[in-house]
Amino acid sequence: MKKTIIIGLITFIVLGLAYGAGIGYYAEKFQANTSFGNIDISNLSLAEAQEKIEADINQQTVTITENGQELGTFTMADLNAQVNTQAFLEASYNNQDPTQWLIGFFDSVEYDNVLMNHIQIDDQAIENALASINILNEGRIQAKDAYIDYGEGRGYFVVPEENGTQLDVEKVKELVVAGIQNGTSSIEVNQAYLAPEVTTEDEKITSVMNQIETVSNTQITLTIAGNEEVIPKETVLEWMYFDDNNQVVFDQNLIYEWLGTMNEKYATYDDVRQFSSTMQGTVEVPAGTLGWSIDRDTETQNIADDLYAGVDVTREPAIVGTGYQNSLAGESDIGNSYVEVDVTNQKMFVYVDGVKVIDTDIVTGQIGTATVTGAYSVWNKETDTDLKGYNQHTGVDYVQPVSYWIPFDDTGQGIHDANWQPSFGGDTYLTNGSLGCINTPPGIMPQVFEHVQLGMPVIVFA
């Protein structure tokens, strides 16, 4: 019995000494069954572990494959790999409890998934390594971004992105390090193709297409002189383009041109008119300043604003000129209140609401300064004013006082009293004609001034 106790005591002492020796040993070593990634650093000092990790990593061979075909190999040393594990190892080392060294023989400590953050690979080195096995982006297919295109009859549509075969060097680096970390030496680079930067699901695409959808479904109807013109969806899409911020913009030059086609269809400004005269029956009157047209500058902006608002609208366009209300009623823009100047018969008539209120002889322009025929409208009325200009017959400037002045075109023609005329009507204009104006007897002119209103048509014909 006494012998048994002595043997047990000796055994306990031996074990205690062995355990204490283990504590002393592992106070300077990593414990058993410790690995860093797939590298065993058991029983190594901090310096030895760092050295082994660097050596093992740099000796590892990387095999590059593409779609299962081997392209070539190189070592991590070829990539100038920098293994920066010292700080991590030191922290791990210091966290060990040497008194638990025995447990290490029955349990493992694995520092997995840490290499990715502790290995640096030089970009140029990996590009050179890839080039050494003839893996170059030059000659490879470049990925294509999704984009918005326009086709006549189809409108705007999305052209999908296309994958390429050019390599993302940063992704290749990640695959190489991940392979080493996981103990895989074969790297499949078809996982590292550069992806398109813009896809069909990208906000850049979807937001623009949403804008296009809103705009293209906006219906603008212009009521022009009683006629409805709906701007076609295809026309709106042709006006549309996008700025640097992918915002819809409308080409106002194209809107302006389209309004020009509407003027050609409806406006009366440039119309040659058939006019039922008092003495000659139906006569043809050249275009003058009379008539209306769509105000293209104003209406271009109005249409753009409507499209930006994206709200359906039906309205009349902005109009300039005279006679629109008559056209709106389906009548001639001359209406039934107007001044009629018959150059051939040297007569002037004033009609108000279809009733002839003035019938007078006149004197029009003589040869060389003949009164220019056309359909005009009164744009001003003045009393006791001076007419100034250049007399082409005498070659001198003139200043002529008149009591009444009614200009009607944009070249200086107008209706005024002429107390210097010895007579009116007949052939007086051939020898004593005006410089283009309608010379009117002073006794009649006050009545003319009273009946003729601003905007009233003045129809001059020969």
pLDDT of the residue at 56: 81
Averaged pLDDT for residues 27-36? 78
Is residue 281 classed as helix, strand or coil in its secondary structure?
coil
Contact between 371 and 434 under an 8 Å Cβ cutoff? The reply is: yes
Q: Which CATH class is domain 338-461?
A: mainly beta
Residues 175-185 pLDDT 10s? 887 777 676 77
Domains 204-270+287-328 and 338-461 share a fold: no
Q: Which residue has the higher pLDDT, 413 or 241?
A: 413
Indicate if the pLDDT at residue 30 is higher than 90: no
Please report where in the chains the tokens 């300039």 appear, as a residue.
Answer: 320
pLDDT of the residue at 36: 73
Alpha-carbon gap, residue 21 to 28, rounded angstroms = 12
Averaged pLDDT for residues 337-358? 98
Contact between 436 and 346 under an 8 Å Cβ cutoff? The reply is: no
Please report where in the chains the tokens 């006019």 appear, as a residue.
Answer: 275
pLDDT of the residue at 426: 97
Q: Count the Cβ atoms, other than its own, within 10 Å of residue 239.
A: 21
Indicate if the pLDDT at residue 387 is higher than 80: yes
Q: Which of 86-100, 199-213, 246-260, 413-427 shows the lowest per-residue confidence on average (mean pLDDT)?
A: 86-100
- Which amino acids are annotated catalytic? 416, 437
Contact between 383 and 449 under an 8 Å Cβ cutoff? The reply is: yes
pLDDT of the residue at 255: 98
CATH 3.90.700.10 fits 204-270+287-328, yes or no: no
Output the six-digit token pair for 311: 């709200």
Contact between 214 and 310 under an 8 Å Cβ cutoff? The reply is: yes
Torsion angle defined by CA atoms of residues 36, 39, 43 and 46, in that order, rounded to the nearest 10 degrees:
-60
Contact between 115 and 181 under an 8 Å Cβ cutoff? The reply is: yes
Indicate if the pLDDT at residue 8 is higher than 60: no
Torsion angle defined by CA atoms of residues 201, 204, 206 and 211, in that order, rounded to the nearest 10 degrees:
-170
Closest CA to 200 of 245, 241, 162: 162
Output the six-digit token pair for 220: 């603008």
Indicate if the pLDDT at residue 143 is higher than 90: yes
Q: Which of 32-46, 371-385, 443-457 shows the lowest per-residue confidence on average (mean pLDDT)?
A: 32-46
Q: Which residues contact 427 (CB under 8 A, 6 or more apart)?
A: none
Output the six-digit token pair for 323: 């006679």
Q: Find the radius of gyration of the CA atoms of the chain.
A: 49
The dihedral of CA 414, 415, 421, 424: what is its sign? positive
Contact between 289 and 270 under an 8 Å Cβ cutoff? The reply is: no
Domain boundaries, the chain: 2-132, 147-200, 204-270+287-328, 338-461
- The mean pLDDT value of the chain amounts to 87
